[in-house]
Amino acid sequence: MTPSAADGPAPKWRSRRNFAGSRPVMDDVARLAGVSKQTVSRVLNDHPSVRPTTREAVLQAMRSLGYRPSRSARSLASGKTRMLGVISFDAARYGPASILTAINTAAQDAGYLVSSIAIDTADHGTADHDTVARAVDRLSAEGAEGVIAIAPQLWVGRALADARLDTPLVVLESDLEDGTPLVTADSRTGAREATEHLLRLGHHTVWHIAGPTGWTSADRRLASWRDTLAAAGAEVPDPLVGDWSADSGYDLGRRLALRPDVTAVFASNDQMALGLLHALHEAGRSVPGDVSVVGYDDIPEAAHLLPPLTTVRTDFTEIGTRSLRLLLGRIDGPAEPRIDPVVPVELIVRHSSGPPPRH
């Protein structure tokens, strides 16, 4: 290939260093190799127009100086920031926090930095479409090459769609139907397996402590629980709606504990199941002797509760890793990577579920 004029003649190598004490920068490499700064950038970017002799001179200068190209130098050379954005909602909760950790780890392995924006939706009304729009604007200003949004509530997905990002977007735990790439856990299957497990043990029906209305995973689990009971010809009790916290599970559990006909409860997450266990113990109802309990998520503490909690395991690490792979595939494009958007779940049977009591 014909070399570009910017390369100039291959430089005669000089072994002396021309700086002392400070960390070498791209200008030092260019000066020592006898080339322009633009040529050093081309070498960093592995540009094909650089002559082999010039490339070797630049590389030798880097070695001699102990030069390590910074992320900004590589960005200058390639026109890419190597930075990804993540918008996370209620990041303190176990699921979103675990997904965010997995995204950060996978991004680092792929040579990317992650800029994260956490939005708290615990207080209803404090987060809205404008909040999402500002987050999108900030990530765009920072040069994010793509964005992952952990969007557990229905309105969040719509707000992201309205924001009209001009970079690739992957959304987690959403029911968007506008063609945006999605990654989600199979909540419907998980709720069905939890409910069927309790019915197979002989319980005449299963009560449900649901997550807050408007949360995609909570709504999916609620619908699947209801459909599973109906398909089995079982009574469908009115669900009790919590807020994901152990406190809400405890408060609702105190109501359930007063009813002798309640023999099986499926809680939409492990924290609410933990509160339920507390309420049942306080009321003198044994688990699983009097009441069977199944949770959801399989938090690390679930195996160490008394009794160890039967639950549905969600692979949050796989959700984060799969979403990162999907996003990087879209950035590298144009072909969409073949990645299954639905992450399977697994029923983990422990000691909090058993047959109903005999009266």
The sign of the torsion formed by the CA atoms of 336, 321, 298, 93 equals negative
Quick check: 307 and 154 in contact, CB under 8 A? Answer: no
Q: Which two tokens stand for residue 240?
A: 């009790």
pLDDT tens per residue across span 252-266: 999 999 999 999 999
For residue 172, pLDDT over 70 is answered with yes
More confident residue, 43 or 6: 43
pLDDT for the residue 205: 98
Give the pLDDT band of residue 178 (cuts 50, 70, 90).
low
More confident position, 191 or 72 = 191
Q: Mean pLDDT across the chain, nearest whole number?
A: 86
Determine contact, residues 205/234, Cβ cutoff 8 Å: yes
Q: Report residue 125's pLDDT band, with 50, 70 and 90 as the boundaries.
A: very low
- Of the chain, the percentage scoring pLDDT greater than 90 comes to 53
Residue 177: predicted pLDDT: 62
CB–CB of 319/180 below 8 Å? no
Whether the pLDDT of residue 15 is over 90: the answer is no
Cβ neighbours around 22 below 10 Å, total:
7
pLDDT at 127: 61
d(CA 252, CA 276): 7
| Mean pLDDT (whole number) for 154-167 | 78
At 230-279, the pLDDT tens digits run 999 999 999 999 999 999 999 999 999 999 999 999 999 999 999 999 99
Token duo for residue 200: 């197979």
Contact 343/312 with Cβ under 8 angstroms?
A: no
Q: Is the per-residue pLDDT at 19 higher than 50?
A: no
> Is a pLDDT exceeding 50 seen at residue 123?
no
- Contact present, 147 and 168 (Cβ < 8 Å): yes
- 298: CB partners within 8 A, 6+ apart: 270, 311, 312, 313, 314, 348
Is there a contact between 196 and 224 (Cβ–Cβ < 8 Å)? no
Q: Comparing 194 with 36, which gets the higher pLDDT? A: 194
Q: With a cut of 60, say whether residue 9 has pLDDT above it.
A: no
pLDDT number for residue 152? 83
pLDDT above 70 (res 325): yes
End-to-end CA distance of the chain: 89
pLDDT score recorded for residue 69? 67
The larger pLDDT score, comparing residue 131 to residue 102, is at: 102
- 85 band by pLDDT with thresholds 50, 70 and 90: very high
Question: Is there a contact between 343 and 102 (Cβ–Cβ < 8 Å)?
Answer: no
pTM score: 0.76
In the chain, what are the domains?
A: 24-57 (no CATH), 83-180 (3.40.50.2300), 187-314 (3.40.50.2300)
What is the average per-residue pLDDT within 20-30?
74
Measured from the Cβ of residue 303, the count of other Cβ atoms closer than 10 Å reads 13
Task: Note the pLDDT of residue 304.
Answer: 97
pLDDT at 334 over 70: no
